[in-house]
Structure 1
């Protein structure tokens, strides 16, 4: 087994796979939303145990997930627009 190949022996790099980041971000945001609902339902026991910050963490997760969803959508639009320009 050789660890190094010269450039003329290498196969070309594969085309990058197109992944849909929206599904991953949406799944994470939904998980934080479920955690937020659970924190709101069990607010009293959490606060008496000193874990009231869980609610703030869940709110932060939902907000960041929504921002991430918007960012992924903007990036996807830009990629689609650049792909359309390159095919013209």
Structure 2
């Protein structure tokens, strides 16, 4: 299909020359050392000595229940205030 295009458009589809090789700036690829990946076995002693002051986060249900209670408390106070004024 491209062979039917005019020469000025064929120039747009011409491949570019290959990039010249540039050696790596830091180390040779064969001498590079990647990240040291290990399992979780190294971290298990930390589980025995965890922070005793740690307070776990509240679950979504606990947060929802807390919000409902505060809204109910505010509504009750507003109701008592309104009945006291009347």
TM-score range, shorter chain: 0.3 to 0.5
TM-score with structure 2 setting the length: 0.33
Q: Normalized against structure 1, the TM-score is what? A: 0.32
Tell me which protein shows more helix as a share of its residues. Answer: 1
- RCO higher in 1 or 2 (8 Å CA, sep ≥ 6)? 1
